[in-house]
Amino acid sequence: MNIGFLGLGNMGAPMAHNLLKAGHKLVVFDINQKAVSTLVEAGATAALSPAAVAGHDVDMIITMLPAAAHVKSVYLGENGLLAAVRKDTVLADCSTIDPHTAREIADIASRQGSLMVDAPVSGGTGGATAGTLTFMVGGTEAGFAAVNPVFEAMGKKIVHCGPSGNGQVAKVANNMLLGISMAGAAEAMTLGVSLGMDAKVLADIINTSTGRCWSTEVCNPYPGALDTAPAARGYTGGFGCDLMLKDMGLAIEAARSVKRPVILGAVAQQLYQTLSLQGHGGEDFSAVVKLYSQLQPNNA
Ligand code: NAD
């Protein structure tokens, strides 16, 4: 299939490479020329603008951009995708953005006759490289059916979450819970160690008890608890604190739009904001445990 791919960053580049490996032809665009050159060396064709991508004979266009403002400008701006796209080209935005903007852009696309889905992913850069991402797809049945075979080259679980915007709803709800559970894991681990427990023994107990979750089992925040977690390598790699902060903000904004309280989400968001302010924004979000150790009188 001929596919346009825009946004070749930490996630987009490995996703695009997997599409090439699966035998698809790619036309790519990014404002970062180095990112474009790497894909061209791997066999992709470069385009000079989003409209130029749409101008190639592409059957599907995938975008993987930082935030809603970038997505809006790439789809709706001057030289944007919607100004030039063929009606039968399927559009899929895999960026993590707010459900409202996702619905707004899909609605404009639909009014001009184009199928568009929102399809944010989970699985991180490791999942993007391994081709094991989970896609949370919002859109019509026809949109889902059209993107499914292409997403199979980049992911292992592709779920239709309902109408337009629902992919983003699933993503913000999951990531808000992840942010809360990581702060909870940090709090519980710090308490246990401060009361005299060995971090590894405590993690082992929690992971075979009712407190167990991904944040205790796979990404335990406490140094020494788990040799494979970012905590064991100075909080490098993993999911950046600033990305978590962005997703917590999306959840809180989405909650505001339906007047729903997200009490724990708001508290957790403030923890990541403080962590970022202290200069840890680029570290894995499990570094939130540092806030708790700072609060210990003996710095335990
Ligand atoms: P990134 O910053 O590494 O990459 C974004 C890319 O978009 C960059 O190459 C940038 O040059 C390009 N870009 C920016 N504005 C552009 C424009 N106007 N036109 C074309 N290209 C433009 O970000 P990332 O880590 O790849 O994340 C992309 C999206 O995926 C984000 O919405 C993020 O929240 C989400 N996400 C990230 C992860 C992760 O672990 N990194 C996991 C799941 C979801």
Q: Is the pTM of this model over 0.95?
A: no
| Residue of minimum CA distance from atom 7 in ligand 1 | 7
Domain 169-299 CATH (choose: 3.40.630.30, 1.10.1040.10, 3.30.465.10, 3.40.228.10): 1.10.1040.10
Pocket flag, ligand 1, residue 98 (CB < 6 Å): no
Active-site annotation holder among 21, 156, 171, 246: 171
- Residue 296's pLDDT band, with cuts at 50, 70 and 90, is low
* pLDDT tens per residue across span 250-259: 999 999 999 9
* pLDDT tens per residue across span 215-241: 999 999 999 999 999 999 999 988 999
Span 139-149, average pLDDT: 97
User: Which comes out higher in pLDDT, residue 54 or 297?
Assistant: 54
CB environment 159-186: b (16+ within 10 A), e (fewer): ebbebbbbbbbbbbbbbbbbbbbbbbbb
Query: What is the domain partition of the chain in residue ranges?
Result: 2-162, 169-299
- Mean pLDDT of all residues belonging to the chain: 96
Pocket flag, ligand 1, residue 47 (CB < 6 Å): no
Q: Give the Cα separation of 243 and 286 in Å (integer).
A: 12
Give me ligand 1 centre to Cα 208, in Å. 36
- What confidence score (pLDDT) does residue 293 get? 83
Pocket flag, ligand 1, residue 70 (CB < 6 Å): yes
Span 105-112, average pLDDT: 96
Pocket flag, ligand 1, residue 11 (CB < 6 Å): yes
- What confidence score (pLDDT) does residue 52 get? 97
- What confidence score (pLDDT) does residue 237 get? 83
Q: Pocket of ligand 1, candidates 243, 272, 283, 285: which has the most ligand atoms within 8 Å of its Cβ, to mutate?
A: 243
Give me ligand 1 centre to Cα 66, in Å. 4
Q: Pocket of ligand 1, candidates 65, 125, 168, 247: which has the most ligand atoms within 8 Å of its Cβ, to mutate?
A: 65
- What confidence score (pLDDT) does residue 238 get? 85
Active site residue 246: no
Span 264-274, average pLDDT: 98
Pocket flag, ligand 1, residue 75 (CB < 6 Å): no
Provide, rounded to the nearest whole percent, the portion of the chain with pLDDT above 90: 95
- What confidence score (pLDDT) does residue 39 get? 98
| pLDDT at 297 exceeding the cut of 80 | no
Give me ligand 1 centre to Cα 44, in Å. 19
Pocket flag, ligand 1, residue 33 (CB < 6 Å): no
Give me ligand 1 centre to Cα 144, in Å. 22
Provide, rounded to the nearest whole percent, the portion of the chain with pLDDT above 70: 98
- CATH code: domain 2-162 is 3.40.50.720
Q: Pocket of ligand 1, candidates 6, 18, 30: which has the most ligand atoms within 8 Å of its Cβ, to mutate?
A: 30
Pocket flag, ligand 1, residue 28 (CB < 6 Å): no
